Structure 1
Amino acid sequence: MVTGLNHTLGKKSGLKTNTTLYLSMNRNILHDAIGFCCGNSLILFSPNIYSWEILLPGVLIVVLARYWKVLSPLLFLVLGAIWATIHSAAVLDQRLPSSLEGQDLMVTGTIIGLPQNRQRFIQFDFNIETSTAEGATLALPEKVRLKWYGRYKKVGAGERWQLKIRLKPPRGFHNPAGFDYERWLFGHRIGATGYVRSSDQNQNRGLSPKLGARLDQFRSSAQESVWVSRERLSMRGLVTALGMGVREGISTSQWNTLRETGTSHLVAISGLHVGLVAGLVYLLVSVLWGQSSHLILWQPTQRAAGIIGFAVALGYGAMAGFSLPTQRALVMLAVYLGSRIFYTTTRPGGALGVALFAGLIFDPLVLLSGGFWLSFVAVGAILLGHYSRVKYPHLEDGQNQPFKNDQIVTRLLKKCFNGIKSSLRVQFSVGIALIPVLVLFFGNFSLIAPVANLVAIPYIGFIVVPLVLLGDLFLVAGFTALSGELFDLGARALQLFWPLLEFLGTSEASSYSPPALPWWGVLSVAVGVGVWLIPRGIPGRWLSPLLLLPLLRAPTSTALDDGEFRVTFLDVGQGTAIVVATRSHTLLYDSGPRFSDRFDSGSDIIIPFLRAQGVASLDSVVISHGDSDHLGGYTGVVENISVAKTYTSSTTVLTAAEPCRAGTRWRWEGVDFTFLSPGTDSLLKGNNASCVLHIESPSGSLLLAGDIEREGEALVVSEYGDRLRSDLLYVPHHGSRTSSSALFLDQVQPQSAVISSGYNNRHGHPHPVVVDRYGQREIELVNTADSGAITVHFREEGVELTRQRDAQRHIWHSDYGDK
């Protein structure tokens, strides 16, 4: 019966081996998809949204391209630009009007996703359905992000609430490097952020009837059942991340280990996990389905395995809440398994092109996410290394023939071996392909990642993920106890493996942070990697490593000559973090605040900036005094970069630091540094005891005054007189009314002054009286709250001040359209 089984199956299914039934993927589809992607990027990464300048010529090109073939390459570029313009304009229109900022608003809506518990508050996304202010109906953003401080009520996923809130437009720190919160909010279509006000009107309206809300509620209950009963397991956060996409329980030390080893992608349900789940199910079904000739006659093995594999992957994605990485992975998986189900001879470029098209049409804003590029580039590297080797066994005699029982183990082992071999073969290609993306979006890449992933991917993919997946299945089926045991096994498996990752992560050469690359440097590295990975036989392929040389270029600090220096006032909110660089030395003055156990100025703002500047170590750190908005990020700094010497006025807090005594001085490349206060016998305390540092060279002078107030100002004026005169002044105490006295300003006589304060901070800094005092003396006053990071170059030609929000403007920034 099985002799002509393939022929019978072909007639039953109507299959023709040379006919594409699923989707026609010609050789140009990848080119068209790349053109569409470039059009999207043209809008999303530009400083402006072009309306008629793009739309009118674009529509003309679209029309003419049908008749004039020379314009056809521009067709998808223009279509992509138009599509991104439509979506970007819609998101910007949803932003909170500035007139409603800080007002009390009454809203009703649904909690989206799983609320996140923090030390002082609970945070959640909220879908607003109705909104009023003083009885009048308002049009508010559809999606906002809220915090509920203090003794907040218990809120659950999928619940409808009536809440009294205050909102503000999307706002984040704006620095030359590091995480861009405003871009993240824009990419997630969040139109405002805010907090819940204490009110008796805050009421739970019950569970939303929507399917998405019901799914979130189930995920929340499942996470809680696993979380509460397994407090003793240090890996429970990693297990819930792998099983439900909930990463809240992963500790800071665990995140550091994952980041240093380049394995953080392993705890985010994305393409890797979805692909592994689908692959394991596909493999299992292929073996078991082939045991029955009746099943084969009903549906060919390959088709059945593809359908069931995708269905299980879809369920796994549902447990992750259909996050954006999961959605992208499912789209790509659908393209690949679609070719297997419908027996199409899909080219690698065609499959990748269709996946790219589908992802961008669904949501063009995903281009702002580093995760999208990681997923897309990784899949491209896998397809490039593996897809061309794919055979179509359904065309070979005997593929669908039942085999004897004693062949089951042999066939299964053979498939496992081939799968592992294929995974090892592409691992190196994936690691190389991701370098440009990691450099562009994250500023560094792990050197140890290929080795770590070589072990971690098979171990977690073939041992931990199956245990967690089975736990998910039994949890859905209602077998909570059995599900818990499987989660326990997964946690113990991770516990056994974790010491190896920690060992790899502690290596001094575990990661590399190249200096910030210009656009041509990123392009060169991307082309070099692409050429390196293409099949052998391409002429000149061996020269591709030369295109990677921008990764090794000299640090940007070499642009300074002797006697010149550069100072950068980083945007750290209500705090201080100032980086001073000479030709070959770097000093950090204060380290900004620590915002939470997951985010601090040191590791998340200062360190990315230093890495982007090519700074491998700090020659000096000055902590002006012990207040948390100046000291909070210090630990994050010293844990990530070597520090030669630390000065402070709070030696009781930093016991290993040297006191910043008046008269201490040194010179770096023609630039003089001198501490002016506090003195050796000084009785100053608190803010007035701040380290006051004067920096001077033939190119100009700068006075860093910490948080000194009138008493401290009067003391340095009486002690130094005209020696205080400086071209640039760091405004004492963030512009507080107790500082910047007339006596002090008249003695310093700066041309410009910089304030470092938080946007709409609760202290009211800078005080209007102080601002007026600077204005009366015609001193240019700039504030990081308005300008983002502020960089001042002291050169022989003069002093040049640059505002980050002017130098690096994008459509997602909060002040877009103001200028």
Structure 2
Amino acid sequence: MTDKLLLTALALAAGSALARAPLPAALAAVISLFLLRRHLERWALVGLALVLALGALRARAAIDEAAALHARVTEALGPPGRCEGEAIVLRSPVVQRGEPAAPGEERGEARIEVELVQGGCERGPLEGPLRARLHGAPEDLARGDHVRLVADLAPVHLFLNESLPDPRPSIARSGVAASGGIVDLERISRGQGIPAWIDRARAHVRRRIEATFHPEAEPLARALVLGETDLHEADNEAFRRSGLSHLLAVSGTHLVLAVAGLAAAARALLLRVTPLSARLDVGRISAALAIPTSWLYADFAGGSGSALRAAGMLSVVMLVRALGRRPSGVRAFGGSLLLAAILDPLVGSDPSFVLSAAATAGLLGLDRPIAHHLVRGPALVRAVLRPIATTLAAMVGCTPFLAMMTPSLSLLGILANLVAAPIGELAALPVCLLHATLAWAPPVERGAALLGSGALIAVRAVARVTSDLGGIVTFPPPTPSQLAAVALTALAAALAKDALRRGAALALGFAALLVLEQGAAHAGNAQGRLRVRTLDVGQGDSILVDLPDGKTMLIDGGGFMGSPVDTGTRVVLPVLRALRKERVDVVVLSHPHPDHFGGLVSTLPAIEVGELWDTGQGEDHGAGPTYASMLANLRHRKIPIRRPDTLCGKHVIGGATIEVLAPCPGFVPDESANDNSFVLRITYGRRSALLVGDAEAAAERSLIEKNPAALRADLLKLGHHGSRTSTTAPFLDAVRPSVALVCSGVRNRYGHPDPGVLASLRARAITIARTDRGGDIVWETDGEAVHLTRPSAR
């Protein structure tokens, strides 16, 4: 563990953690250096501290540059609009078809990344190159292709919420800050060189897989061979819940198996060339050949981060072998990590990197100790227990980081891996890779497709059975402090000189995790305070209200029409889990529009719900099957659904006073859903927040006529995302807020918030906080003082 190369790599990679979570990362760094003081010279400790600082500076600069890039693209593009010009294809096309096509139905198209080198958009000509991710591209494009295109473009929406991982490193890593769909595309010239040839080979293999594999196995084969994660939704969920997703990902394990197998085959062939094998070590030749092969295969398989890093690590091992030296697993691991951290200052923010590194560290550090204690008995029993030990070693390393990416892990995952891994890695993988080379022999190709289909469907069957059996453990995502504690525990255990000290380090680390978990739960609770958290869900509303006694309200869940992005699974549920909230006491659907209830559809079944407040207009007028299924699910769970006739007036809930001001005594059938929005005034002590849904001018006039004094509030959530149809001057004069919240997204076509509304707010010296300008907003009060966490403060 005191290998200086490995420690240097870890310090450089950890710089991204120091840049994103300075306090826990800095504390962990100080303690780490203290633990290492007896194992390293003073100059080495100072060097590690300097490397860590350098990594943090590089990471911070990359994040700031990504934020500036996104701001420039947002300013240049404005709302979604039509752009046209010439572009260069930068990334391999990725096909995502979704569910199987019906007979006669046209198949889907590809997603590509391009650099627009000249052209213009509705706002004017482009100033400088612009990188964009586009859907709807022809599948036969290749990197380097020069195209002329027309596309609908908009800035990428970040969904920037303080409780969730920062999304800006992905922009820093890719340089892509805009996305959209292709309207028309014409290829001007074809790309040349190895990347273009690889992409054409990918397209050829994709066509052969589609032509020869069983329809149920075809998406699985494309995932395994090409890295196109395009499973049917039911299969995707089964693989995720069973812990078998890695078997279909082009992971480092797959790359090592494939390239090492080719190197072994090359060595066997070279051994048969007697004049060559008699004079040279053919193992060194095959190792040298494996280095370019590993990079070519990683690129062909989609160029994922884990595959490229595995290629780097394998290249280090093979280079050492080609030079005639004995490779060291630890030094090869350290060398590959150092190379990755040098090339990418934010590599520590890449989930695939973290998982690959954690799994490898688990194998290097825990495989032998676990095997020593577990693998015992007769030879047959040991043969069964040995892969269990290896799987446990890798899973122990990965578990804290898997918790960041998925809310649940399967207790049956180890058994599922024992059954499915041999089928996937020793049968499906080699057969599917062999199939990619057999187009010249159709009968043999069909036979390979038949065998590969059978193996893949068998793996899927294991995933489905495991998923159906349950055994899923759900837990909250670890905080930065908890991840720092995990890292410190691993370091202390690795440095321990005997089993007793190692056990003490693990026990202390476990205790620290429990204490930090209590702290995270306390931080997510606003005991004695009223906290209004406006989530960044794009062009929509979702507001989480923490009441003074610990109860929680959720008002709306955001949502998009005709988009695969689910704000419930993308934002609302992760925020609730990060804040350690398993129950929401009151869910309010302000009105039945998709940008308000869309995210609730996936959120509500996953949490405990006390009651739902609904205006009733959606059910009376018909708001569609999604809305109806949401209510049906709540009724099946016997969760009360309350209407305005039982809600209008004042309620003391959670230590705060909640007034339902509209629609009272019920919704007005002739009014729009917007003007029938719930209007809530939440008061704690001397401070109030007024939340008006999408109420427009007519609703505002009605509220003023009823009781203008009841509208006075310190915080106003603007109606209808800041539209010019809301927030009239008389309404502002009645409310007299000091802070105005605007819930809107950079990808809205409506011009929200309206410049006239913003001017009216500024004229009254009202502080404006917008979710489209930096993410979620938190307003809280103890009943007297008020604190606002504005996006610009992050």
Shift of the 561–384 alpha-carbon distance from structure 1 to 2, 3 Å rule, reads closer
Tell me how far apart the structure 2 counterparts of residues 588 and 94 of structure 1 sit (CA, whole Å): 33
Aligned residue in 1 for 2:77 = 101
Equivalent residue number for residue 14 of structure 1: none
1:677-756 equivalences under 5 Å are 677-683=662-668, 684-698=671-685, 700-756=687-743
- 1:176-226 Cα shifts (integer Å, max 9, x gaps): 244644321211233x41447867xx5321321232122112212321342
Alignment of 1:281-292 (within 5 A): 281=262
Query: Which residue pairs with 1:570 in the alignment?
Result: 535
Contact 2:370 2:393 in 1 (8 A): no
Q: 1:758 aligns with which of 745, 748, 755?
A: 745
Name the counterpart of 1:465.
Answer: 429
- Identity, in percent, stands at 25
Normalised to the residue count of structure 1, the TM-score between the two structures is: 0.78
1:236 aligns with 2:218: yes
Paired residues for 1:334-733 under 5 Å: 334-385=315-366, 422-440=386-404, 448-475=412-439, 478-479=440-441, 482-506=444-468, 510-514=472-476, 517=479, 519-532=480-493, 537-543=498-504, 544-552=506-514, 553-554=517-518, 556=520, 558-559=522-523, 560=525, 564-582=529-547, 583-594=549-560, 598-649=564-615, 650-651=618-619, 652=622, 653-654=627-628, 655-656=631-632, 658-664=641-647, 666-683=651-668, 684-698=671-685, 700-733=687-720
- Partner letter of residue 89 of structure 2? T
Distance 1:738 1:118, change over 3 A: farther
- What amino acid maps onto 1:189 in structure 2? G
Q: How far, CA to CA, are the matches of 2:592 and 2:489 in structure 1?
A: 48
8 Å Cα contact 2:109-2:138 kept in structure 1: no
- C-alpha distance in 1, partners of 2:654/2:71? 49
Aligned mates of 1:115, 1:241 — CA distance in 2: 11
Task: Tell me the distance in 2 between the aligned counterparts of 1:534 and 1:504.
Answer: 38
Q: Calculate the TM-score normalised by the size of structure 2.
A: 0.80
The letter of the residue matching 1:521 is Q
Task: Report the CA distance shift for 1:144/1:467 in structure 2 as closer, same or farther (over 3 A).
Answer: same
1:189 maps to: 175
TM-aligned CA distance change 1:703 to 1:224, over 3 Å: farther
Instruction: Determine the C-alpha separation between the residues in 2 that align with 1:493 and 1:281.
Output: 21
Q: Report the Cα distance in structure 2 between the residues aligned to 1:42 and 1:557, rounded to whole angstroms.
A: 23
Counterpart of 2:30 in structure 1 is none
Kept after mapping to 1: 8 A contact 2:135/2:182: no
2:196 is aligned, of 209, 213, 238, to 213
Amino acid at match of 2:533: T
Counterpart-to-counterpart distance in 2, 1:620 and 1:338: 61
Paired amino acid for 2:246: H
Mapped to 1, the partners of 2:165 and 2:45 lie a distance apart of: 41
Distance 1:348-1:320 versus aligned 2 partners, 3 A rule: closer
Separation in 2, partners of 1:216, 1:168: 27
CA 1:547–1:694: 2 relative to 1, 3 Å: same
Counterpart-to-counterpart distance in 2, 1:163 and 1:764: 26
Counterpart contact for 1:40–1:81, Cα < 8 Å: yes
Q: Structure 1 residues 799 and 458 mapped into 2: Cα distance closer, same or farther (>3 Å)?
A: farther
The change in CA–CA distance for 1:72 and 1:179 in structure 2 (over 3 A counts) is: closer
User: What corresponds to 2:790 in structure 1?
Assistant: 803
> Which protein is bigger by CA-based radius of gyration?
1
Change (3 A) 1:139 1:261: same
Give the alignment's Cα RMSD to 1 decimal.
4.1
* Alignment match, 1:110: 89
- 1:34 aligned to 2:19? no
| Corresponding letter in the other structure for 2:765 | E
* Cα 1:94–1:284 shift into 2, 3 Å: same
Instruction: Tell me, in whole angstroms, the C-alpha distance in 2 between the residues paired with 1:621 and 1:515.
Output: 23
Following superposition of structure 1 onto structure 2, how do residues 137-152 of structure 1 map, counting pairs within 5 Å?
140-141=128-129, 143-147=131-135
> How far 1:703 sits from its partner (Å)?
2.2
Shift of 1:273: 1.1
The SS at the match of 1:364 is: coil
- Shift of the 639–499 alpha-carbon distance from structure 1 to 2, 3 Å rule, reads farther
Q: CA deviation at 1:644?
A: 3.6
Preserved CA contact (<8 Å) 2:151 2:180: yes
Please state how far the C-alpha of 1:788 moved relative to its aligned partner: 0.9
State whether residues 732 and 739 of structure 1, in contact with CA within 8 Å, keep that contact through their aligned partners in structure 2: yes
Are residues 688 and 489 of structure 1, via their aligned partners in 2, closer, same or farther at CA, if it must alter by over 3 Å?
A: farther
> What amino acid does structure 2 have at the position aligned with 1:718?
E
Deviations along 1:737-786, one digit per CA (max 9) or x if unpaired, are: 22223333333332222110112621111222222333333332221111
Q: Is the 8 A contact 2:561 2:595 kept in 1?
A: no
Q: Post-superposition shift, 1:598?
A: 3.9
Partner of 1:126: 114
2: CA distance between counterparts of 1:370 and 1:699? 45
Separation in 1 of the partners of 2:62 and 2:394?
31
Instruction: Tell me: CA distance 1:290–1:73, structure 2 relative to 1, closer, same or farther (3 Å).
Output: same
Partners of 1:92 and 1:561 in 2: how far apart?
30
The worse-fitting range, judged by mean Cα deviation, of 558-567 and 117-126 is 117-126
1-structure distance, mates of 2:527, 2:18? 40
SS state at 2:189 partner: strand
Q: Kindly tell me: are residues 28 and 116 of structure 1, through their superposed partners in 2, closer, same or farther at Cα, counting changes over 3 Å?
A: same
Distance in structure 2 (CA, Å) of the matches to 1:280 and 1:528: 36
For 1:580, give the aligned amino acid: V
Q: 2:234 aligns with which of 247, 253, 257?
A: 253
Offset, 1:361: 3.0
| One-letter identity of the residue aligned with 1:141 | P
Relative to structure 1, is the Cα distance of residues 661 and 542 closer, same or farther in structure 2, using a 3 angstrom cutoff? same
Q: Which moved more, 1:763-772 or 1:289-298?
A: 289-298
Equivalent position amino acid for 2:508 in 1: L
CA contact (8 A) 1:705 1:731 kept: yes
User: Does residue 146 of structure 2 align to residue 160 of structure 1?
Assistant: yes
Residue 720 to residue 93, structure 1, CA distance change in 2 (3 Å): closer
Partner deviation per Cα, 1:82-115 (whole Å, 9 max, x = no partner): 8768978987898785674359563342353115
2:757 paired residue number: 770
Which amino acid in the other structure matches residue 126 of structure 1?
V
Answer whether contact 1:275 1:333 (CA < 8 A) is retained.
Answer: yes
Amino acid in the other structure paired with 2:436: D
What are the Cα deviations for residues 358-388 of structure 1, in whole angstroms up to 9, with x where unaligned? 2233433433311111112211222224589
Q: Is contact 2:157-2:538 (8 Å) kept?
A: no
What is the aligned partner in structure 2 of residue 226 from structure 1?
A: 209
- Kindly indicate whether the alpha-carbon contact (under 8 Å) linking 2:687 and 2:784 is maintained by their aligned counterparts in 1: no
The corresponding residue for 1:10 is none
Instruction: Structure 1: give runs of 5+ residues left out of the alignment.
Output: 1-24, 48-66, 391-413, 808-819
Query: Conserved in 2, the CA contact under 8 Å of 1:183 and 1:368?
Result: yes
Given that residues 568 and 578 in structure 1 are in contact (C-alpha distance below 8 angstroms), is that contact kept between their aligned partners in structure 2?
Answer: yes
Distance 1:297 1:511, change over 3 A: farther
User: Contact (CA 8 Å) 2:558, 2:599: kept in 1 or not?
Assistant: yes
**DSSP-derived class of the 2:93 partner:** strand
Which residue identity is paired with 1:489? Answer: L
Q: Distance in 2 between matches of 1:540 and 1:587?
A: 47
Query: How far apart, CA to CA, are the structure 1 residues paired with 2:418 and 2:495?
Result: 22
Aligned match of 1:58: none
Pair 1:188–1:44, CA change in 2 (3 A): farther
3-state DSSP of counterpart to 1:775: helix
Moved more, 690-699 or 724-733: 690-699
